[in-house]
């Protein structure tokens, strides 16, 4: 059995009195791409925010590499090797592309390693190198998504958490983004992916969890779920 990188058990999250997550459990093994799919408001983003420390759970445990991170502040989780690319990219509009990438390396101390990672990111995203002196706010949506992903790579992550990376992008760019996600796995990274585009997400994932109004209602190998009649009907538009 492969190494368990992330293990979430009985996670409950409240917004005031509203229960957003009703005790969900899932895990991500090293080297996998795992997708969380579900409709708007199912709790996908809440789940991601909770595991990376932006929201605190009311109940349940989050084990990352065996350590309980449920009460570790978000900024400390980054240096543990889990990095979150948030929904809507959220690049720093008033910083240049280069400065944004450096922000990604904020928790990194080793200068030589930062330089090497930067070179790799520029190799993978040549557009970012061309535009390194441009303010990030002037980039197109696709370029901003690439910047957000490149920025995450500079944190030297083991687990990359992606929230709706294909949102608002043209079909051509969407395919490109999914190719990039696949390349993360080839580079030895682990990916936890949240997507509206369930079909695409399932096509690159190893395993899938289906989230419905705060509960996980189905899970399994992507290759099996993609043929599940109920999933097909609800999420794949077939």
Partner 1 sequence: MEFLTTFVNGLSLGGIYAMIALGYTMVYGIAKMLNFAHGDIIMVGGYTVHTVLPFLAILLSGVYNPTVAIISSIIAIIAAMVFCMMLGIVVEKVAYKPLRGASPLAVLITAIGVSYLLQSLAQMIFGSAPKHVNIKALDFGILKIGGLAIGYNTIITLVCSILVMIALSLFVKFSKTGRAMVAVSEDKGAAQLMGINVNRIIMITFAIGSALAALASVFFLLKAPTMTPTFGSLPGIKAFTAAVIGGIGSIPGAMIGGILLGVIECFAQAVPAISPYTDAIEFSILIILLLVKPSGLLGKMRREKV
Residues that bind partner 1 (CB under 8 A): 52-54, 73-76, 78-79, 83-84, 86, 90-95, 99, 102-104, 106-107, 151, 155
> How far is it, in rounded angstroms, from Cα 58 to Cα 80?
23
> How far is it, in rounded angstroms, from Cα 156 to Cα 140?
25
Instruction: Tell the smallest beta-carbon distance from residue 90 to partner 1 (Å).
Output: 4
Instruction: Tell the smallest beta-carbon distance from residue 88 to partner 1 (Å).
Output: 8
For partner 1, the closer of residues 59 and 76 by Cβ is 76
For partner 1, the closer of residues 93 and 183 by Cβ is 93
Burial level of 161, CB count in 10 A (0-12/13-18/19+)? buried
CA 221 to chain centre: 19
For partner 1, the closer of residues 107 and 120 by Cβ is 107
Instruction: Tell the smallest beta-carbon distance from residue 133 to partner 1 (Å).
Output: 13
Tell me the three state secondary structure of residue 95. Answer: coil
For partner 1, the closer of residues 11 and 114 by Cβ is 114
For partner 1, the closer of residues 51 and 222 by Cβ is 51
CA 18 to chain centre: 25
Quickly tell me which residue has 């240096």 as its tokens.
Answer: 79
> How far is it, in rounded angstroms, from Cα 54 to Cα 37?
20
Instruction: Give the H or E element holding residue 190.
Output: strand 190-195
């Amino acid at each position: 059995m492969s190494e368990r990188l992330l293990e979430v058990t009985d996670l409950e999250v409240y917004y005031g009195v509203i229960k957003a997550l009703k005790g969900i459990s899932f895990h991500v093994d090293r080297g996998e791409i795992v997708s969380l799919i579900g409709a708007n408001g199912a709790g996908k983003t809440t789940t991601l925010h909770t595991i990376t420390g932006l929201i605190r759970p009311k109940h349940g445990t989050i084990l990352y590499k065996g350590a309980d991170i449920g009460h570790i502040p978000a900024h400390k989780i980054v240096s543990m090797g889990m990095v979150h690319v948030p929904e809507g990219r959220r690049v720093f509009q008033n910083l240049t592309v280069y400065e944004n990438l450096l922000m990604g390396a904020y928790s990194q101390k080793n200068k030589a390693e930062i330089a090497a990672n930067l070179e790799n990111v520029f190799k993978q995203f040549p557009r970012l190198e061309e535009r390194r002196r441009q303010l990030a706010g002037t980039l197109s949506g696709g370029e901003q998504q690439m910047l957000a992903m490149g920025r995450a790579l500079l944190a030297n992550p083991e687990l990359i958490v992606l929230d709706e990376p294909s949102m608002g992008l043209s079909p051509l760019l969407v395919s490109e983004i999914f190719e990039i996600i696949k390349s993360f796995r080839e580079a030895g990274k682990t990916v936890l992916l949240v997507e509206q585009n369930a079909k695409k997400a399932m096509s690159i994932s190893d395993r899938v969890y289906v989230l419905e109004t705060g509960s996980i209602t189905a899970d399994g190998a992507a290759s099996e779920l993609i043929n599940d009649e109920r999933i097909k009907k609800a999420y794949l538009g077939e």
